[in-house]
Amino acid sequence: MAAEIQNLEDLSSEDKANFVNQVYDAAVPEAVDAILTEAKELNDFNAQVKADKAAVEAAEKADAEKRHDFLKQQDAVAIAIQELPNIPADKTADLVNRVYDAKTLEELAALREEAQKLSEVKPDINIEPTVQKDTYKLILNGKTFKGETTTKAVDAATAEKEFKQYANDNGADGVWSYDDATKTFTVTEMFTEVPGDAPTEPEKPKADIPLVPLTPATPVAKDDTKKDDAKKPEAKKEEAKKAETLPTTGEGSNPFFTAAELAVMASAGALAVASKRKED
């Protein structure tokens, strides 16, 4: 009986020793049988406890693995939703939060399907067509402002509006013209001469010969009359000589006397008259 108790696997060493001692202390066979039955019952109980514990541990392990797998599924669904196009940012954030609140794989599948449907709906985006713009030039020809500038516009009317505003801002005004071939606007400033407003070309002076005043006659004394008479032929000779040697201007000799010559001749005539009167 003692050997049978020792072979019970789910009894602790202490329990086995206790039951063996009871067998050796038993006085009758019935007592030994009762001890063996008790030992077997304890062994069976311990075996059941051990089995239940193993089952719980296995379940917990399985649950932990399942939970780990579920968390991986949550991460995968959240990433997939965030990568879907055409979903507004606030809606994406809401879906991701609901993914991590889900408890089953069925909930995750439903959320992913919802996100997929939202992604397939294209948002209303107004794409304006590209407008072709040409380069236009403005040439300013004016008294107060000169220069060139350019602008890009869809048509000549738009460019003209911009150029006129530009010219107005710079104080340039005048007659506008447009060359479609070169896409060039020209504004020519018109202004009127106001007396005193702008300098004018002065008139050239006339080449008039200035008048030479005649030299008044000087009276001659009687004592000097003979001397003057003696000098007359010499004076006449000198005057004739001067007349012959007068320089020319290159355009031929001038047949007319100048004002200076007339003055000299008048003085000589006055002297001759005065001398004649004294002799008489």
pLDDT of residue 27: 76
Say if residue 25 is in the same domain as residue 95: yes
Say if residue 165 is in the same domain as residue 87: no
Contact 22, 54 (CB under 8 A): no
For residue 227, what are the domain limits? 210-235+257-280
Residue 138 sits at φ, ψ, to 5 deg, of: -125, 130
Q: pTM here? A: 0.32
Say if residue 76 is in the same domain as residue 182: no
Look at residues 89, 120, 151 and tell me which one is the last residue of a structural domain. Answer: 120
**Both tokens assigned to 181:** 């071939």
pLDDT tens figures, 131-179? 788 999 988 887 766 788 899 998 999 999 998 888 888 777 788 999 9
Say if residue 214 is in the same domain as residue 274: yes
Whether the CA torsion 168, 171, 174, 177 is positive or negative: it is: negative
Asked, for residue 53, whether it belongs to a domain, the answer is yes
Asked, for residue 196, whether it belongs to a domain, the answer is no
CA 21 – CA 134 distance, rounded (Å): 116
Asked, for residue 72, whether it belongs to a domain, the answer is yes
